[in-house]
Amino acid sequence: MAVRIAGARVLVTGAGRGLGRVFTESLLTRGAAVVYAGTRDPAQVVSPGAVPVRLDITSAADVAAAAARCADADVLINNAGVMRFAPVLAAPDLQSAREEMETNYFGTLRMCRAFAPVLAANGGGALVNVLSIVSWFANPQNSSYCASKSAEWALTNAARVELRRQGTLVTGVFAGVIDTQMGAAFADLPKTSPQLVVDQALDGIEAGAEEVLCDDRTRSVKAALPDDLTLIYPAHQARWDALHPG
């Protein structure tokens, strides 16, 4: 179910900055017929040729309006997300976890549900969810975000099963820390350029890939999943214990 970018009509969420802006500009460079740039503030859309669409994926009204406005879309790229840098138990309350789940999981789910019939009507196309290396493990310092991305990974796999019959390619894009405003908080970790992530994601869509692993660290973590309790978590346990002695 490979999907060509040239001539495609694409909606990108979270398109006002960072990875979403790079997706928007790269799609235009590759010859997409229309690129709808979904963002809470359409004034953030500065990419020449992009079509701004007011879109807060946590708003049912915004999502419904976007589905009507972008009724010719044959590719949806769910890129919008939030990160609150909170643990699951040591956080003072549930607010951060609720915000991350509401955007990263429920917002993405809302978009998938609204656009599945749109994609079907336009021949199947592709649904792309930008996930994360932490879909596969929990960093205790940021674990409520990890939980939301793990839930989004499960959503992606379930959507693939449900949408295969209508001919929709469902692709999960996984990366470690990306060199964007969101990734700036991780000063001690290597960063992947957003252009590299976008190039691999778009190449993956055109190749019919169901998963795109964008960097060596991501590929290493995915390979380690059968032994995650011994290969992944000891280092995180040591870091947590050092930061929270006693």
As annotated, the active-site residues are 145
Query: How far apart are alpha carbons 212 and 50 in whole angstroms?
Result: 25
- H-helix or E-strand spanning residue 229: helix 228-231
DSSP 43: G
The structure tokens listed for 173 are 């894009």
Question: What's the burial of 237, exposed, middle or buried (CB within 10 Å: 0-12/13-18/19+)?
Answer: exposed
DSSP lists the bridge partners of residue 39 as 54
* Residue given tokens 């019919």 in the structure block: 208
Contact of 201 with 171, CB cutoff 8 Å = yes
> Residues of 5-28 as b/e, b for ≥16 C-beta within 10 angstroms?
beebbbbbbbbbbbbbbbbbbbbb
Contact of 187 with 137, CB cutoff 8 Å = no
Residue type, 243: L
Q: Which of 202, 211, 206 is nearest to 172 (CA)?
A: 211
